[in-house]
Amino acid sequence: MREEPRSRRSPRPTSRRPSVQTSDERDAPFGESPELLAAERAAAAAQPAQLALFAPGPAGSFQPVLAGLQPLDGSSSLDLARTWFRIELERKRRPANTVESYCYDLVKLEERIGPKPIDQIGHADIANFLGLADNRATRKRRLTSVRRLFEYLVDDQKVLDVNPVDGFFPHRIALQTPVPLFANEQIAFEAAAAADEPWSLVAVYLMLRFGLTRAELLALRRDNVDLSDPDQPVVHVLYDDPTKHHKERKFAGDVEFASAYAALIEAAAPVDLLFPVGFQAVNGMVDRVAKAAGIAKEVTPQVLRHTFAVERAKAGANEEQLIALLGLLDEPRNRESVRRYLKLAAPPM
């Protein structure tokens, strides 16, 4: 192709350096009318302030504000306090249903008392909210929710000096007397579990002989079973949540459990969780096995745990040992609970 003479080519654009401009000049609005400029400044001043990216932290430091949230103080709304409280609960890895329950109750509190700053919420507001509960269980749950929030605001965030929930106490909810399985029912129940699905006997053994809760059963991993001695495996009940380390414990299995566990591994070959099912599957299995065993009384995972506790009490476990075996926090309510097992384990009069 014939090259065009240089003189006919379009001249190359020359790059020009931008003129130096101050930030005030750059941000100034266009125009020369003083009246219009004043009107623009007034409109700009009326705009809401942008959410802060950083909030004052300890020792004069600055910390990023999560999701653009303002830091808490006494004049903060209940909505903002609830949001920060939820973040704290999730950071501590509280169960999702607990977080949702707390937040639901706090939404209902705000609906009842209106948009008050947290430092203006008083005893009358709490009494008004609790008085709407239609039963004792609901009142107790609501009281727990608001108590936890204000403890967080007073003790952790230190934005309030007074806890408006102080002085309120839950109604006492009487503990029901457990109905454990008798010895012949336990034998029939385990036999029916052995004839059920491959996982049923191991799951029943863990609840009936070790007292695991349904949640602990479903959290059990293959690595939690120590097979150093194949005839006497050791089951470790562990928790990732540091606040629940008091619930950790371990149990030694026997030849019967070792055989059932080996059959489960061969049939299901679980990679991680031993029981990759849901709560309802456990409930359904227990109910199905009870019917197959010909047991007329209601049998639930909690009944199996009650049976474990009573049998351990019959074998000589005292109050402190039952607290540890069941993974319970040592508090008055739990001590009252284990005393029921000791009473049922006492010799007949």
CA 213 from chain center: how many Å?
A: 16
What is the model's pTM? 0.60
Mean pLDDT for 135-160 is: 93
Q: Residue 17 burial (CB < 10 Å; 0-12/13-18/19+)?
A: exposed
Q: In the predicted model, is pLDDT for residue 101 greater than 70? A: yes
- Per the CB < 8 A criterion, the answer to whether 268 and 197 are in contact is no
| Partners of residue 221 on adjacent β-strands | 273
pLDDT of residue 105: 94
* Percent of the chain residues topping a pLDDT of 90: 65
pLDDT of residue 85: 95
Confidence of residue 246 (pLDDT cuts 50, 70, 90): confident
Contacts of 175 (CB under 8 A, 6+ apart): 336, 337, 340
The two three-digit tokens of residue 36, written as one number: 């219009």
**Cα(66)–Cα(91) distance, integer angstroms:** 12
pLDDT of residue 5: 52
Question: Residue 156: how many CA atoms within 13 Å on its side-chain side?
Answer: 12
Q: Residue 3 burial (CB < 10 Å; 0-12/13-18/19+)?
A: exposed
pLDDT of residue 60: 46
Least trusted range by pLDDT, from 38-52, 64-78, 227-241: 38-52
Q: Pick 183-345's CATH classification: 1.20.1440.230, 3.20.20.210, 1.10.443.10, 3.50.7.10.
A: 1.10.443.10
- The kind and range of the H/E element at 252 are strand 249-252
Tell me the pLDDT tens digit for each residue of 160-219.
999 999 888 887 667 889 999 999 999 999 999 999 999 999 999 999 999 999 999 999
Tell me the pLDDT tens digit for each residue of 296-328.
999 999 999 999 999 999 999 999 999 999 999
- In Å, how far are 61, 93, 162, 266, 318 from 100, measured between CA atoms? 32, 13, 26, 39, 37
pLDDT of residue 32: 63
Mean pLDDT for 104-132 is: 92
Mean pLDDT for 281-301 is: 97
Mean pLDDT for 145-161 is: 94
Q: Residue 314 burial (CB < 10 Å; 0-12/13-18/19+)?
A: middle
SS3 call for 234: strand
Contacts of 156 (CB under 8 A, 6+ apart): 88
Please state the domain extents for the chain: 66-156, 183-345
Cβ atoms within 10 Å, residue 180: 20
Residue pointed to by tokens 């227990």 = 286
Buried b (16+ CB within 10 A) or exposed e, 257-295: bbebbeebbeeeeeeeebbebeeeebeebbeebbebbeb
